[in-house]
Amino acid sequence: MKCVSGRPGKNLQPLDYDTLRKDLQKKWGNGKGSVSQQDVLSASMYPKEFDEYKAFRAEFGPVDCLPTHVFLCGPRLAQDFTVDIEKGKVFLFLSFYFYMPTCISSRTISSQFTYTLGGC
């Protein structure tokens, strides 16, 4: 690994924050200011990963409210789990039937499960 001498960011190109923000707004925004300052900073440091993240959110929605084990593995038969959709709004799921994968491609596996839903 090459040793860095001097200030690490000295050789970086300057960032045009406003232009990047406008580009992100065109690509990922909905015209209502949905690109945050955190989005701009994330895209400036990790442009490929940021685009992958936004594409994932566009396809699957805000999965960050799912419990980790449900997100990674899916619900088990007769497993109940809650999803906090916002402060004071919680959904209670109980899975009672799981279908085997219906669509398998190079990137995704689609499965279906039947559940009951109750609000708390």
What pLDDT digit, counting tens, does each position of 40-69 carry? 999 999 999 999 988 888 887 777 777 787
| pTM to 2 decimal places | 0.59
Contacts with 49 (C-beta within 8 Å, 6 or more apart), sequence order: 42
The partner residues of 28 in beta bridges, in order of sequence, read none
Q: Which domains, from first to last, does the chain contain? A: 17-60 (1.10.10), 63-119 (3.10.600.10)
- pLDDT tens digits, 15-42: 899 999 999 999 987 755 578 899 999 9
Query: E strand or H helix at 97, and its extent?
Result: strand 89-98
State whether residue 14 is helix, strand or coil. coil
